[in-house]
Amino acid sequence: MKKTILIVAWWLVATTAAMACDVCSAASDLNETGLLAALRHHYLSLSWVREHSLSERPFGADIEDAFDRLSLQGRFFLTDRWSVGFDQRFSTGTRTQGTLVSRHSGPGDLWLQSGYRYLNLRLACNLQIMAEGVASLRLPTGRYEANLEETQGLPRAFNPGRGSWAGRMQHRLALRYGAWGLFQHVAWTHAAATADGYRFGDSFQASALLYHTFKPRTLTINPWLGGIYEHIAADR
């Protein structure tokens, strides 16, 4: 039977803690598909995210940054427990300061991932528990210019790519009771240095989503309420 899954985000609370972050929203390198990762389904997802920030200056014009990211993601189960996936983005960063507008865009780095679902329990009380570990590898395939600040006056984080290999470890836990569910996710990312010796700071992300499932006919609707915490260390 063919099913369509519709996920509606009612509210998302995000908290960011960063050290020496030129552009915090640009420095974030995590783009989870949310509830799709909690469900045991093959999926192919095309999503668009826009982030906006404003830096007020006591002297001179304020700085306004906007980032648009188009992401193609997929995950496919090889067995009941093993899965593989990918994440490919295309992003555009725009900085506006007074009448000056600078823009930088291009393809991002390709992420490849492998996951193992080590826990999948369905208890007599109608409670289902799922847990999996995921290891990901970032390939330096995206657009990266080390001299971006000199050529366009933009911070290095405006690059769609990061110019280096990186690894990520993730853990996902999903609890489901009837039509209600709770999805929890944590991730830690470590990047190698670029060819010019620059290294983006390690990052830690944690999120929790509470959702409810409605199933009118063949359509599954999952509105959710959740929060995200992210910490990005200083670049070196």
Position 109 confidence tier, pLDDT thresholds 50, 70, 90: very high
Asked whether the predicted pLDDT for residue 11 surpasses 60, the reply is: no
The answer for residues whose C-beta is within 8 angstroms of residue 42's C-beta and 6 or more apart is 74, 75, 76, 77
Mean pLDDT computed over 122-126: 85
At residue 191, the pLDDT reads 96
Asked if 65 and 23 count as a contact pair (C-beta separation under 8 A), the reply is yes
Mean pLDDT computed over 2-13: 44
Percent share of the chain, pLDDT over 90: 54
At residue 12, the pLDDT reads 43
Position 38 confidence tier, pLDDT thresholds 50, 70, 90: low
Looking at the chain, list the stretches that DSSP marks H as alpha helix, in order from N- to C-terminal side: 24-27, 148-152
